[in-house]
Amino acid sequence: MSFEQARKIADAVLYEGYLLYPYRPSSRKNQFRWQFGVVAPRSWEDDPQFMQTECLIEADTPPAVDVLVRFLQVRPKTGDWDEGIERAAEMNGLAPGEHERHFQFNPVTGVIRATITRADAFFKVRVRIENLSEARAADRNEAMRHSLTGTHTLLRVHQGMFVSALDAAGCENLHAWPVLVGSRPERTVMLSAPIILGDYPAIAPESPGDFFDGTEIDEMLTLRVLTMTDEEKREASAADERARRIVERCDGMPREKLESLHGAIRGLSSRDGEDFFNPHSEQPETQRVAVGHGSVGRGSRVRLAPRRNADAIDMFLKGRTARVESVHRDVEDRAYVAVTVDDDPAAEIGKRFFYFFPDELELIEKEN
């Protein structure tokens, strides 16, 4: 597997938190750069000055390892906004032993120290990234201009296979967490990220692009972008090219594409491959549940009667009529019903689902 195949996941890590909704530099949340994977200069003690990854390799003969370190260098662009420039430093074909690679992207300087050693029946790889910049910063925004942000490491092994971090004993990972990437059961590439992921992370096929928030909450953020004023969209687009692409993508998204972002259950599996939960056995669009003296299923017409302790949004819907879309069960086997409300003002954008327990519904007619 090549690094290029792992790049989509790596990019999601690289830009996580880069620019937050509403994607405007004037927004308070974007006045303070908050990103995972900060490797700060030595003089700045509020963030780590290094990142360390350790992992194990199964190999009969000494392996060769490729290391690719990627990060964003933030630089002033316009006003108070610092844009991110993608940077990378690599070391290829590393044999057992100690290796060192210095890099400089003015004003940021750093070093990658890699070692490969025998560890019982395995080979252990350690990659340590250090920021050597000596700059003294008056505040955090200035410190970030001398930092590595969104920092992560990609590792590829030749003549061997990586061991999942969940099974690797004796490894010390600091400010990083390595996971296997690719398709199961491939074990030749690892992504060491500044956030905890599971092995074989993947981008949902429905996702049309990056948002830099929460890896990712596509439907919610798309709807929020659509509520931005033209002036807000102009400010976001002028500040950063990536923000401009987000705004244009959301504005031009077809309705059927937006509806596909509502969510999908793909199943949860245990690590040994046995199904922990099989969504196909539920088939929510075909299930029924008792309501009053009858039952409801997809297509049933109901009136909403939320409980007195329901949240405010549900209480505003009291007395409204709705159509049942599906019936679900939670982990305690309690049934709950997804409905779409008649005359929902958001229907022009796409279906919006609300969820109620059966005793909060009144059956007003059978399904169509």
**Helix H or strand E segment including 129:** strand 122-131
pLDDT digit string, tens, across residues 307-319 = 877 888 888 899 9
Residue 266 lies inside a defined structural domain of this protein = no
257 lies in a domain? no
Provide the sign of the torsion angle of the four alpha carbons 294, 298, 303, 308, taken in this order.
positive
DSSP 280: G
Q: Which residues pair with 28 in a beta bridge?
A: none
For residue 341, the one-letter residue type is V
Nearest to 343 by CA among 319, 308, 363: 319
Render pLDDT for 65-75 as a digit per residue (tens, 0 to 9). 999 999 999 98
Helix H or strand E encompassing 108: strand 108-119
**Residue 237 shares a structural domain with residue 144:** yes
pLDDT at residue 200, as a whole number: 94
- Domain annotation covers residue 267: no
Same domain, 144 and 61: yes
Domain tally for the chain? 2
Strands 301-304 and 321-329: antiparallel
Q: Is residue 212 domain-shared with residue 326, that is, in the same domain? A: no
Cα separations in angstroms, 293 against 264, 306, 327 = 32, 18, 17
Residue with tokens 């009136």: 303
The pLDDT, as a whole number, for residue 368 is 46
209-214 average pLDDT score: 77
272, part of any domain:
no
* pTM recorded for the entire structure: 0.72
List b or e across 257-292, with b for residues whose CB sees 16 or more CB atoms inside 10 angstroms: ebebbeeeeeeeeeeeeeeeeeeeeeebeebbbebe
Instruction: Please check whether residues 201 and 57 belong to one and the same domain.
Output: yes
Q: Could you tell me if residue 258 is inside a domain? A: no
Q: What's the confidence (pLDDT) of residue 320?
A: 94
Alpha carbon of residue 125 to chain centroid: 26
pLDDT digits (tens, 9 = 90+) for 17-36: 898 889 998 888 888 877 89
Residue 214 pLDDT grade (very low, low, confident, very high; cuts 50, 70, 90): low
Amino acid at 198: G
Q: What is the mean pLDDT of residues 230-250?
A: 94
Shared domain check, 114 and 67:
yes
Q: Check whether 199 has a pLDDT greater than 70.
A: yes
Enclosing domain of residue 285: 278-365
Query: Is residue 215 located within the same domain as residue 360?
Result: no
Q: Which residues have CB under 8 Å from 329's CB, separation 6+?
A: 282, 287, 335, 336
Structural tokens at position 272:
């040994």
> End of a domain among 233, 251, 269?
251
Determine the residue type at 82. D
- Say if 80 falls within a structural domain: yes
Q: Is residue 259 part of a domain?
A: no
Same domain, 191 and 303: no
Cα 179 to its chain centre, rounded Å, is 14
Return the biggest CA–CA distance within the chain. 75
Residue 271 domain flag? no
116 and 79 in a common domain: yes
Domain boundary pick from 216, 251, 286: 251
Q: What are phi and psi of 366, to 5 degrees?
A: -75, 165
309 and 212 both lie in a single domain:
no
Q: What is the CATH number of the domain that holds 334?
A: 2.30.30.30
Instruction: Give me the mean pLDDT over the 94-120 stretch.
Output: 97
Question: 330 and 232, same structural domain?
Answer: no
Tens-digit pLDDT profile for residues 150-177: 999 999 999 999 999 999 999 999 999 9
Same domain as 308, residue 242: no
- Examine the domain organization and report whether 122 and 171 are in the same domain: yes
